[in-house]
Copies of this chain bind each other. A is one copy, B any other.
Amino acid sequence: MPLSLLLLPLAALVAPAPRFQADTPDPAVMAKIREEGLKRSQLPQHLAYLTDVIGPRLTGSPGLLRANEWTKNKMIEWGLDARLEPWGPFGRGWTCDKFTASVVGPTAFNLIAAPRAWSTGWSGTADVVFVDADSPEALAKFKGKLKGKIALVSPIKELPAHFTPQGSRYTDEQLAAMASGALAGSGRPRQGGGGGGGLGADMTDEQRAAFQARMRQAQMVGQILAFCKAEGAVATLSQARSGDGGTIFVEQATVPQVPTAREREEVRQPGAPRAPRLNAYQVAAEKLMIPQIAVGAEHYNRIVRMVQAGESVSVALDLKVHFNGDDKSMAYNTIGEWKGTDKADEIVMAGGHLDSWHTGTGATDNACGVSVAMEAVRILKAIGVKPRRTIRVGCWSGEEQGIFGSAAYVKAHFGTATAPGAEHAKFSGYFNLDNGTGKIRGVYCQGNTAIMPLFAQWLTPFADLGATTVTARNTGGTDHLSFNSAGLPGFQFIQDTIEYDARTHHSNMDTFDRVQIEDMKQAATVLAAFLYNAAMRDDKLPRKPAAPAGQ
């Protein structure tokens, strides 16, 4: 602190300004929240049910609808008013009914692999061809060679050993840097690998060449897929986005070509803007689509090296899928509501997205967030408090395809920043949790500096649990953006990274066993306190003077 402060009388130091005093958390309530949240948590059971029993929850799929119903019923059981709110149309869902993949000749081995979501299906056995093409000229050489074949459409990938930990927690130094804004860029620092790495100034010539080759190949993907389809290949195998050792990161299939204007008209979603590239989930694009299977790097690399060694490799695929609904199908958010008392017309919200990718069970992304939000409300119900404002829980969908569900909800209920609806003025704030399974270390204020001293006070009772840091920084990529875009206060918590980048974020191993249960109990406890404090204070949460879109 500055030297001049030392000259102030002690009383001046211990008596905070009234504005801050009003937000000093009630110690008795905070103690009850801790007791309920840390010692009588019901979060593990809910997380296990969402992940193990219901399983993956791709938007538009029966899995997500089952999760919508289950979260609704669970909140009703706790005395909330809960319902499904439709949004859309989202378009078709997709379900994988069966998938196995094996090399069957010249030797036999089972593949660690997964279909990309919205891939079409194919079952049979075919020889593979390695389409080793990083230019249209190289691709043209495969003319006439792919009929009835399975095409390998990615290059070999180098797999460095794991000399650094895949999991980590923030150090005090990292948190201090975040609080001071000293960390470059916005959002959380990425850790532990999992990604491919970009073009860096400190690259060797060899690394630079390899990077550039990868980029050329990546730019060729659409062309290669379209070529394979046109040439009559039956399916494609490619490298998973990242991962190794049996962990594969897999998202959606690619519509293999920029459709012609006519095809675009035929397949585009009614009312949707004309896009240069349509997403598979938006359109009934089977006629453009080729089955797309992501293969673990060790297995993919091995097949390519077998081919390069002159072996004739046969692969058996059994991929059975079906599409759910059609281009006009709606998707659903589950919304739970707990009516307030004297300020019941004002709203405080918490949430996470209920939808997930399809190869794991969407545990850290984002059954964790949903379970924490639900548990936070259960804690408050259990300790018998009567919040003044109405508390809502949002279990969003379509997040993975573009933060669609929360955006639709915000627009429907609160309008936009420039065309606010009636409830816009009644909204206090939204708290989101969607950075995996790490405990809460603090909160991103998205440039809302007025709120920082408030949140600093709210965190005080949880400093011993590691929640200490208030940063002005933005973080992106998830549902709090929908609120910020509408000029409403939306926040995302800072969470310990754990293994989010390296092991779970969109991977086949995003499963219950990757969850740090004690961390999630802590998160629910801190969130319960934030919800309570926001619901009880005299004023709504302060807003940014001007909220640029997307922040």
Contacts and interface: CB of A to CB of B under 8 A. Distances in A.
Interface of A: 48-49, 51-56, 63, 96-100, 102, 104, 107-110, 112, 114, 159, 161-169, 244-248, 296-298, 301-302, 305-306, 309, 311, 318, 361, 498-499, 502-503, 508-509, 511-514, 516
Contacts of A165: 162-165
Contacts of A100: 100, 102, 110, 318
B513 A306 contact: no
B514 A246 contact: no
A513 B51 CA distance: 32
A533 to B, nearest CB: 31
A53 B512 contact: no
Contacts of A298: 509, 511-514
A109 B99 CA distance: 8
Contact of A508 (B161, B246, B305): B246
Contact of A159 (B53, B248, B513): B513
A521 to B, nearest CB: 16
A311 B53 contact: yes
Contacts of A109: 55-56
Given A159-B513, A512-B302, A63 B96 contact: no
Contacts of A499: 161-162
Given A98-B104, A112-B112, A246-B296, 11 more contacts: A55-B107, A56-B109, A99-B110, A100-B100, A159-B513, A159-B514, A163-B167, A245-B246, A246-B248, A298-B513, A302-B361
A325 B107 CA distance: 19
A248 to B, nearest CB: 8
Number of copies of this protein chain within its complex: 2
Contacts of A99: 102, 108, 110
Given A98-B102, A167-B161, A305 B246 contact: no
B55 A509 contact: no
Contacts of A248: 246
Nearest to A248: B246
A306 B297 CA distance: 30
Given A53-B311, A110-B114, A163-B168, A48 B305 contact: yes
Contacts of A498: 161
Nearest to A510: B298
Contacts of A51: 302
A505 to B, nearest CB: 13
Contacts of A509: 244-246, 298
Contacts of A301: 512-513
Nearest to A498: B161
A305 B516 contact: no
A107 B63 contact: yes
A49 B499 CA distance: 34
12 contacts: A52-B305, A52-B306, A56-B109, A100-B100, A100-B102, A112-B112, A159-B513, A161-B499, A244-B513, A245-B509, A246-B247, A297-B513
Interface centre among A54, A165, A513 (most CB of B within 10 A): A513
Interface centre among A168, A247, A248 (most CB of B within 10 A): A247
A98 B107 contact: no
A305 B512 CA distance: 10
B309 A49 contact: yes
A184 to B, nearest CB: 25
A193 to B, nearest CB: 11
A26 B108 CA distance: 48
A202 to B, nearest CB: 20
A97 B102 CA distance: 11
A48 to B, nearest CB: 6
A3 to B, nearest CB: 41
Interface centre among A108, A164, A168 (most CB of B within 10 A): A108
A119 to B, nearest CB: 14
Nearest to A166: B162
Interface centre among A51, A248, A298, A498 (most CB of B within 10 A): A298
